[in-house]
Amino acid sequence: MGKNKPLEGIKILDFTTIVMGPASTRILSDCGAQVIKIESSSRSDTLRSATPYKGEDPSPNRSGYFAMYNAGKLSLPINMRNPESVNFVKEHLIPWADIVVTAFTPRVLPMWGMTYDDLAAIKPELIMLSACLMGNTGPYADLRGTGQLAAALSGWYENTGWPDKDPVGPYSAYADFVSWNYFIVAVMAALDYRDRTGKGQYIDQSMFESTLQFAGPQLMYYLNEGKLTTRMGNQDVDYCPHNTYPCSGDDTWCSIVIENNHQWSIFCNLMGRNDIVEDSKFNTFESRKINELELDEIISEWTKNQDSFRLMHLLQQNGVPAGVVQNASDLFRDPQLRHRNHFVVRAHQDMGYHHILTPSFIYENSDRFPDTAAPLLGEHLEYICKDILDIPDELFAELISKGILE
């Protein structure tokens, strides 16, 4: 206790759903920002209906998927399909917010009269970030979809998998995982700029363009040379051996990377194969690369009956890079991640105690653990209206009876 959070006092009005926006605002919330998540019972975050549920029956309040990316936030239920709701947002929430973030397809905000120009007319220093799949302008701006589609569009499928098999792509919505960093960078840089100059700004974030940032060198290779990269399994252009090898037990694997000839000789010694250290088939990176398949068979033969963790520790303790391919169960127990408190346990009214992942960075002088579990749908209706927004009782009753607040 005792350490402050870096973003105490920052207020974020959050209209985003699914993963990219919510993961970003979760990290900002972990770091101390107050985040009001706008949803309603008629239109809740899609993740609230995503498995698994903690407890017997499905409930929007017990989705583990939602819990992962929404811990620490406050939930305010507004029915945005009610035309009067936009006025409520403009009168009460925009004046409160430093930052407004959305993840709608580009046609939604103009339809509501909630473009940046509309909102900046009320509050010129407002920062607004609108994220969507393809960006808010351009011929394909209206394409709907999640980061899985952005991952296919931006080359991650083509460049993940085995050369002799389908381009299966990385797991889930990869473009979300790349883009959320840029979401955070954008709003934090804009906040600093506002505090220096008094000027707000609008940020148009295309998930497609954000995710291409992690393929820069390969894009430049095509842009400048006209040459393409493709998937190559677990091989690498600079290192060999470089693969994931079977270990004892079902579907158990250990990755091993040899970065130089020094590691190669240590590795051969540990394998009990000093005979191949100087073998002309394997004694240089170039020769190992030519004979990579044969070498991988030799290594697999050695690893296949070994305990994956014992093998990793043996190699690492001798200066050879190795890592078990960890599944969810392994990650729960991982001693290094535990050392970093990768989970905190928080109580939730309907879900009880459960684990919440913490940010991957640790501050020396600041706290960054989520304070609370994810909110129930509409949990903070009264608290937000009465304690944060100071809405008088009569108006509050009217907003409820008109169906603006649900």
- Residues 115-144 touching another protein, rule: CB under 8 A, are 116, 129, 134-135, 137-144
Query: In whole angstroms, what is the distance from residue 255 CA to residue 244 CA?
Result: 4
- Minimum CB separation from another protein for residue 278, in Å? 24
Q: Which of left, alpha, beta for 231 (phi over 0: left; psi -120 to 50: alpha)? A: beta
23 lies in the binding site for another protein (CB under 8 A): yes
Length of the chain: 406
Alpha helices in 198-226 (DSSP H): 207-211, 216-225
25 lies in the binding site for another protein (CB under 8 A): no
326 lies in the binding site for another protein (CB under 8 A): yes
- As given in the structure block, the two tokens for residue 203 are 């940020």
102 lies in the binding site for another protein (CB under 8 A): no
Our CB check for another protein shows the closer of 13 and 127 to be 127
Query: In whole angstroms, what is the distance from residue 247 CA to residue 232 CA?
Result: 22
Type of residue numbered 327: N
Q: Going residue by residue from 79 to 98, which x/- string records binding to another protein, judged by CB under 8 A?
A: --------------------
At 243, is the secondary structure helix, strand, or coil?
A: strand
The answer to whether 39 and 75 are in contact (CB under 8 A) is yes
Site residues for another protein, window 222-261 (CB under 8 A)? 222-234, 236-239, 242-246, 251, 253-255, 257, 259
Our CB check for another protein shows the closer of 138 and 392 to be 138
Our CB check for another protein shows the closer of 157 and 264 to be 157
The answer to whether 147 and 179 are in contact (CB under 8 A) is yes
Our CB check for another protein shows the closer of 8 and 84 to be 8
What is the CB-side half-sphere exposure of residue 141 using CA atoms within 13 A?
15
Our CB check for another protein shows the closer of 4 and 87 to be 4
- As given in the structure block, the two tokens for residue 176 are 């979300």
Query: In whole angstroms, what is the distance from residue 197 CA to residue 191 CA?
Result: 10
Distances (CA, A) of 186 to 19, 259, 405: 17, 36, 31
Options 72-80, 152-160, 372-380, 393-401: segment touching another protein (CB under 8 A):
152-160
- Minimum CB separation from another protein for residue 142, in Å? 6
Rule CB under 8 A: choose which of 57, 275, 328, 393 binds another protein.
328
Options 63-71, 74-82, 273-281, 287-295: segment touching another protein (CB under 8 A):
63-71
Site residues for another protein, window 168-207 (CB under 8 A)? 168-174, 177-179, 181-186, 188-193, 195-196, 199, 201-206
Options 157-165, 281-289, 376-384, 386-394: segment touching another protein (CB under 8 A):
157-165
Our CB check for another protein shows the closer of 49 and 291 to be 49
Rule CB under 8 A: choose which of 115, 167, 266, 276 binds another protein.
167
At 273, is the secondary structure helix, strand, or coil?
A: coil
Site residues for another protein, window 290-319 (CB under 8 A)? 316, 319
Cα angle for residues 57, 63, 65 (degrees, 5° grid):
145
7 lies in the binding site for another protein (CB under 8 A): yes
Give the interface size with another protein as a residue count (CB under 8 A): 157
166 lies in the binding site for another protein (CB under 8 A): yes
Q: Going residue by residue from 29 to 48, which x/- string records binding to another protein, judged by CB under 8 A?
A: --x--------------x--
Burial of residue 247 (CB within 10 Å: 0-12, 13-18, 19+) is: buried
Our CB check for another protein shows the closer of 153 and 391 to be 153
Site residues for another protein, window 344-403 (CB under 8 A)? 354-355, 357, 359-366
Our CB check for another protein shows the closer of 322 and 404 to be 322
The answer to whether 71 and 372 are in contact (CB under 8 A) is yes
100: closest CA among 127, 70, 136? 127
The answer to whether 188 and 258 are in contact (CB under 8 A) is no
Rule CB under 8 A: choose which of 118, 158, 292, 307 binds another protein.
158
Cβ density class 95-106: b for 16+ within 10 Å, e for less: eebbbbbbbbeb
- Minimum CB separation from another protein for residue 304, in Å? 12
What is the CB-side half-sphere exposure of residue 136 using CA atoms within 13 A?
18
- Minimum CB separation from another protein for residue 153, in Å? 5
- As given in the structure block, the two tokens for residue 184 are 């955070």
- As given in the structure block, the two tokens for residue 374 are 């994810």
